[in-house]
Structure 1
Amino acid sequence: MWYPGAGTDSFTATGASFAAAAGRLSYSFGLTGPSLAVDTACSSSLVALHLARQAIRNAECEAALVLGVNALLRPNLFACLEAMNLLAPDGVCRAFDAAASGYVRAEGAGRSCSSRSTRRDAMRTPSWRSIVDRRSTRMAARQR
């Protein structure tokens, strides 16, 4: 991602765009159809999954691939949050708990391949959901 003082080159204009990244990934993997980046802060992956399922339900597509990634690559955001005393001093997330003491950021990635169940059954292809984070190698659960 571009930041002030990073300099520019011929790749800066498209390389700093999440929308361009979605298109480039689709192109690289030979995926066809609409490709978009969704940024709704903490709910981006859930909103993207909702849009995919809605498109399948409305017969706009037969299948959809949803990928969600959060990578904390630069310390700038942490410095701003710390300056405002928003980060939990112990680094532990205690959402909705009386012992909560601040905000905690985390990295992670997930994917969902969705299609109509009748299509999956005809192709005998299982539906998989997976969650990947720094603390574990991989967790995957087969959906029935």
Structure 2
Amino acid sequence: MPRSNKDKVPCHYVRQGTWPHAVLDDDAPVSAHRCQELAQNLARAMARAGHTLRPLAAISGVAHSTIARLLQGQVLPDIGTLARLEDALGIPLWPTFRDSARSAPNPVRGRETTTGIRDGIPIEVESGYLPDALLDFAWRGKFDA
């Protein structure tokens, strides 16, 4: 399947570690981050349901080789594949915007860790990420950058 924006397969962006729990390159596109979360979610869902590749393939209608490639980060999934897997497992697998916004870098700025206080609790924040309150505000369409 053709990839959007000439993104490489997600596992191409592994800097350190083993997919899907690896640290990705700083310049990894958002698709790589989302597919990493998808692979983690799929592996957890399969373990909870007690499914291996072939039984999940049989109930989902997705080829076992495609499921394996998703788990290994060797393919960007299409919407039909994702829908069939979610339906077969009975849970959402694709990371939500809110979940993913915390893990994917903001391409506009570099990452810097700073400390701050939120609700009276010391926290560390990376500058490449939007805080929850700003995400909520932006998501409602009230933020104009």
Same fold (TM over 0.5): no
Larger Rg: 1
Which structure has greater helix proportion? Answer: 2
The structure whose residues are more often strand, as a share, is: 1
TM-score (norm 2): 0.29
TM-score (norm 1): 0.29
* Higher RCO structure, 1 or 2 (CA under 8 Å, sep 6+): 2
